[in-house]
C-alpha cells in the first residue's frame, strides 16, 4: 500500500547543485495520493474549532483550499509582496541569500479566530514563522501548522515548535 511519501518525486540538483528538490506536483496530480494527503492532514484536527485555513504561497494554496473546503471554513492566502490588491500588512523573513516579504489582507482575519496554517514543505521555518506573525498581528490564533513534508535536517520544525506552535507533517526526508 502506497504512502503519501511514495507519491512525492525527488529531483536532484534543482534549483541548485546539491539540492534534493521534493516535488509535490506528482502527489497533487494523482487523485488517490492527493485525497490521501488531504485526509491525513485533516485527521489531527477532527473536532477542533477552526475558523479559517491560511495557506502560504504557492503550494500551500492548493492544500489550504482543499482543507478549507473539507472543513467548511474560509481560506486566506498569504502571498508574496505585491500580489494582493487590497490594503495589506506585511512580514519580512530571511532566505538563504537575502530577505523576502509576505503579505496578508488587513481584514482577512478577525481577532480571536482560530487558524490552521498550511504549506507543502517545512525547511528552515522562516516562511512559516512569517505567516504566524501575520496571523497574530491581526489578533487571530494559529492553532497548528500543517505540512506534507518536513525536512528535519534544516531545523524548521524545531524552530516553529520553539515559537510554541504545534506542527503536523505527513512525512519527512532526511538530508534536506
Residues serving a catalytic function are 59, 96
What whole-number distance in Å separates Cα of residue 141 and Cα of residue 134? 10
Task: Find out whether 169 and 122 touch, Cβ atoms under 8 Å.
Answer: yes
Q: What distance in Å separates the CA atoms of residue 116 and residue 18, rounded to the nearest whole number?
A: 33
Q: What is the C-alpha separation between 51 and 109, in angstroms, rounded?
A: 9
Cα torsion 22, 143, 108, 136: sign: negative
Q: Measured between alpha carbons, how far is 83 from 96 in angstroms, rounded to an integer?
A: 22
**38-61 b/e with 16+ CB inside 10 Å = b?**
bebbbeebeeeebbbbbbbbebbb
Amino acid at each position: 500500500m502506497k504512502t503519501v511519501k511514495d507519491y512525492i518525486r525527488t529531483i536532484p540538483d534543482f534549483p541548485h547543485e546539491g539540492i534534493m528538490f521534493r516535488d509535490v506536483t506528482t502527489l497533487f496530480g494523482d487523485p488517490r495520493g492527493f485525497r490521501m494527503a488531504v485526509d491525513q492532514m485533516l485527521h489531527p484536527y477532527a473536532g477542533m474549532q477552526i475558523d479559517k485555513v491560511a495557506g502560504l504561497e504557492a503550494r500551500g494554496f492548493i492544500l489550504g483550499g482543499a482543507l478549507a473546503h473539507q472543513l467548511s471554513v474560509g481560506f486566506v492566502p498569504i502571498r508574496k509582496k505585491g500580489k494582493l490588491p487590497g490594503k495589506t500588512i506585511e512580514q519580512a523573513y530571511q532566505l538563504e541569500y537575502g530577505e523576502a516579504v509576505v503579505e496578508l489582507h488587513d481584514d482577512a482575519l478577525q481577532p480571536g479566530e482560530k487558524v490552521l496554517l498550511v504549506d507543502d514543505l517545512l525547511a528552515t521555518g522562516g516562511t512559516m514563522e512569517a505567516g504566524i506573525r501575520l496571523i497574530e498581528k491581526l489578533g487571530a490564533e494559529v492553532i497548528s501548522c500543517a505540512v506534507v513534508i518536513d525536512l528535519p535536517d534544516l531545523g524548521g520544525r524545531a524552530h516553529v515548535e520553539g515559537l510554541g506552535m504545534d506542527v503536523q507533517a505527513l512525512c519527512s526526508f532526511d538530508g534536506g
